[in-house]
Structure 1
Amino acid sequence: MKKVLKNKKPNWLQIGGGFLMGLILGIVLLIALARISWHNKYYPGVEIAGVVVAGLTQDEARVKLQESINTYQVSLAYNGATWETPIGAINYEIEASLNEAYRYGRRLEIGDYLLLLVNKKTQFPLVVLEGKTDKLELLISQISSSVEIPPIEPKIEIVNKQIKIANGEDGVVIDGERLDKKLNEQVKMLDKSTIEIPTKVVNKQIGDDKLNELRNRAEKLLGKELTLVLDDERIRLQANELVTFLVASDATISEYVMGLAESLNKPPQNAKFEFDNGKVSEFAPGLTGWKLNYSLQKMAYNKVSINCWSRIINMKQLRSQLHELRHQSQPTR
């Protein structure tokens, strides 16, 4: 009898595996070919801040990038007036910028190789060093003097036993945080688009209701005084000094408290013995010193400024709270 040969069904698993192995081998060969062809050079499509460095060595790219940086300026504008950043106003980390772009295609990331296969343009920003250069600081200072309207703080004083209040005036200042953000976004890409200088209003003018409330609180301080006590130290604040804290800023309060702490600090004193012919001729005992904990003092004082100054001042409560500074001192030996 003749044997009938049956057609074998194709093994799709083997076919798929072979195709996958071939694909992987092809990609590996392409990568190897690219590495050989672009040895010590930037891969196709690579740009740094818009400067094409593809096909260049790092030395060649450094020269080309430096040329672009050496001519880069950006304009700052406000209400029709414009200023240009001087050459060299931005500090760039050129080596870090070059190295980051050079690693593209060499850092074993699949995404890089896929982009290389389709020859897609890849943009890398320049690395900008933190902090402003002296040139940029000077430019911003010049712009500030032309743009800003300094705010005027409210003023309160006692004249001939009467409360006198001069209202504050609002001001306009450059929004430094927003300007820094805009500037950083552009300079790292060597973008020459004009930057509109952002500003913000600083409110210092007090409304009529607040002025009347302020006057009422100030009048309650007429003829009053506040005494701060630390052992044998006594500091008296008269009414004409107390009323100024009603409109004091946080910075003013902090400055006052720091000065107060420094004036009350007392260094420790070592014991002193002097002998003359075997006898003690002079003796002074050692004394414990103290150093006020500024952070605690500031916290307590700010609490006073919030809880007491901003309302009708309760002098007894105020005395009690500031009196606690004595217990917040840290003895030093």
Structure 2
Amino acid sequence: MVKKKIYQIKNLKMLWFSTPKWAHWFLLPIFIFLIFSAYNFFFWNKIFPGIYVAGVSIGGKTLKEAETILSQATLPPKEISLTYQDQVFNIPTQDLGVVTDYQESVEGAYNFDRQGNLISSLYQRALAPVRKVYLGLVINLDEEFLDNTLGVIAEEISQDPVYPSAKLVQGEVMVDRGTPGSILDSKAAKDTIKENLSFSKKETIYLTVKNIDPTINEAEAENLKTRAESLLGKKLILTSPQEVFEWKEVKIFETLDPLGGYKKEAIASEVSKIASSLNREPQNPTFIFEEGRVKEFAPAEDGLKVRQEKLVEEILEALLNLERQEESELTLEIPLERTPPKISTGDVNNLGIKELIGKGSSNFRGSIANRVYNIGHASSKFKGILIPPGQVFSFNEALGDVSSLTGYKQAFVIKDGKTVLGDGGGVCQVSSTFFRAALAAGLPIVERRAHSYRVSYYEQGYPPGLDATVYAPTTDLKVLNDTPGHILIQPIFDPKAMTLNFEFYGTSDGRVAKTTKPVVTGVTPPPEDLYVDDPTLPAGQIKQIDFKAWGAKVTFDYTVERGGEVIYEKTFLSNFRPWQAVFLRGVGPTP
């Protein structure tokens, strides 16, 4: 056998040397191609040699083998240790939410020599047996938590610089030349943390800071003082139809750039405040009807928007002029962009608001104070709203955001199958009353949803099924104005009588709305009361957090006729679930 192989090799040599030299140039590339093809075929489902992930060699391994090796050989540290001078900050890795994606890490290693252009890829594969490539693990973490943590550390180690400024002290200009400071290099810290996690490094990370030196020299300070003194007793007046803003020397000093000119960012910040004060949305004319007559009327108003960029440039130019000239003041008119309302005051007589076309009422006796407040606050959003003919009106759109930020208080709401305290409890009293007014006006109801369970407030003087729940953005109440004219909405909130009314004014086209008496079927009793042990309450104390309600299916028919002809009809179904009373039972220590 050995002799046979030696004979074959000799034959190959003879073939090579007996072949003309010019043919070698054709055989050599073929020979290299065959070797390289065999090499690539061997690694077709394996990672090429010389690949390390987090310091662990996985060359020659299949993806599954490499994933197993890495998951056993690499573990993230229990905490990240950061140090700056004599301060040490430890961040538990668990708090960072660190998750290692071994599958993606291995796929990245596998594709390292298989991506990019063909020449580059072949070159890397050729080098694979003799090179070493070090890759990191793919790490996912809570970026927001890391940023917040570094922000806290920055407050600990950073030294805020003091920027040069001119100030007025007892009528005399004083210049502060500034003080150097430093700030944590958060980006470098974040990058290093990620790198250490990616490469399973456990060493301490030394934090670095960026030095900030805003100080000015004596000559620059003297120049700043001279400029500030030239502004003493001077002021810039910014005028608008609504308000006048005066910039006296103290405010102007804040915009002075110590190196010349004025700080555009500081001016832009002040202009933003002016815009917040002056900007407004266009307002349609509003009315209040009483006894068929307009008692109050507010004319239409254009929307206003400060042209901030233009105003900043004009202020920059004005301040330079004020500094150079002898006059003690300059006046600028604030540039405003006006947007006309959809309905002008002159259109009022053409709106078709002539008479009461529908009214809805509800009572809310027994409501807690916050719920009563929310009902009044929410209903005020609808005062004087005009619905043009042919428009679908969205209750949620008119209501706007419901949260503590928009003035709502905590009261009971239905959320995730429970009655809980939440911002805006009571808003559905408003939507239910609006729904009843729309029915009375004979308007098509485009969208309406009943509550999950029967609520006593909506059945005070009314049968069940005449309610409407809203919850933006998923649950809305929508009605169509298919009358000949605009519809004016007027809420009437009476906290003493505990009543809410909605009145719709417009043009009657002779339509008559009829609703049948709601039919209640499938009545089911509520489940047994549920008691939940609560260690935060003293032993023996009971606190009710949810209230029982009977389940039922309620239907009623809604028909709108005009001249003896049915122009709209709809059957409304409310499927109320039986609701369980829930009590918290104290098991904690007795005070």
Query: Please, what TM-score do these two structures have when normalized by structure 1?
Result: 0.72
Q: Cα gap change, 1:56/1:22 in structure 2, threshold over 3 Å: closer, same or farther?
A: closer
Asked which structure has the greater RCO (Cα within 8 Å, sep 6+), the reply is: 1
Q: State the percentage of identical aligned residues.
A: 23
| Partner in structure 2 of residue 211 of structure 1 | 221
Return the letter of the residue paired with 1:111. Y
Residues 148-187 of structure 1 aligned to structure 2 (within 5 Å): 148-154=158-164, 156-180=166-190, 183=193, 187=197
| Partner in structure 1 of residue 52 of structure 2 | 47
| Partner in structure 1 of residue 38 of structure 2 | 29
Match of 1:16 among 19, 22, 25: 25
Check conservation: 1:308, 1:318, Cα contact below 8 A: no
Match of 2:145 among 128, 134, 137: 134
Deviation at 1:156, TM superposition (A): 4.3
Match of 1:287 among 301, 314, 320: 301
Q: Which 5+ residue runs of structure 1 have no aligned equivalent?
A: 1-8
Q: Separation in 1 of the partners of 2:156 and 2:295? A: 70
Q: Separation in 2 of the partners of 1:204 and 1:191? A: 37
Deviation at 1:281, TM superposition (A): 6.7
Q: Separation in 2 of the partners of 1:316 and 1:93? A: 69
Residues 97-112 of structure 1 aligned to structure 2 (within 5 Å): 97-106=105-114, 109-112=121-124
Q: Separation in 1 of the partners of 2:196 and 2:313? A: 41
Q: Separation in 1 of the partners of 2:248 and 2:130? A: 78
Check conservation: 1:90, 1:128, Cα contact below 8 A: no
Q: Separation in 1 of the partners of 2:89 and 2:292? A: 80
Residues 174-253 of structure 1 aligned to structure 2 (within 5 Å): 174-180=184-190, 183=193, 187-192=197-202, 195-246=205-256, 251-253=265-267
Deviation at 1:276, TM superposition (A): 8.0
| Partner in structure 2 of residue 331 of structure 1 | 338
Check conservation: 2:179, 2:214, Cα contact below 8 A: yes
SS in structure 1 of the partner of residue 239 of structure 2: strand
Residues 241-280 of structure 1 aligned to structure 2 (within 5 Å): 241-246=251-256, 251-272=265-286
SS in structure 2 of the partner of residue 70 of structure 1: coil
Q: Cα gap change, 1:34/1:292 in structure 2, threshold over 3 Å: closer, same or farther?
A: same
Q: Greater share of helix residues, 1 or 2?
A: 1
Greater Cα radius of gyration, structure 1 or 2: 2
Q: Separation in 2 of the partners of 1:271 and 1:182? A: 61
Deviation at 1:17, TM superposition (A): 2.4
Alpha-carbon RMSD:
4.1
Deviation at 1:263, TM superposition (A): 0.9
Deviations 1:200-250 (A, max 9, x none): 332344433333333333333333332101234311223333333336866
Q: Greater share of strand residues, 1 or 2?
A: 2
Q: Which 5+ residue runs of structure 2 have no aligned equivalent?
A: 1-17, 341-591
Q: Cα gap change, 1:318/1:21 in structure 2, threshold over 3 Å: closer, same or farther?
A: farther
Aligned length: 312
Q: Cα gap change, 1:211/1:143 in structure 2, threshold over 3 Å: closer, same or farther?
A: same
Check conservation: 1:86, 1:135, Cα contact below 8 A: no
Query: Please, what TM-score do these two structures have when normalized by structure 2?
Result: 0.44
Deviation at 1:291, TM superposition (A): 0.8
Q: Separation in 2 of the partners of 1:213 and 1:136? A: 41
Q: Cα gap change, 1:332/1:194 in structure 2, threshold over 3 Å: closer, same or farther?
A: same
Match of 1:124 among 121, 127, 135: 135
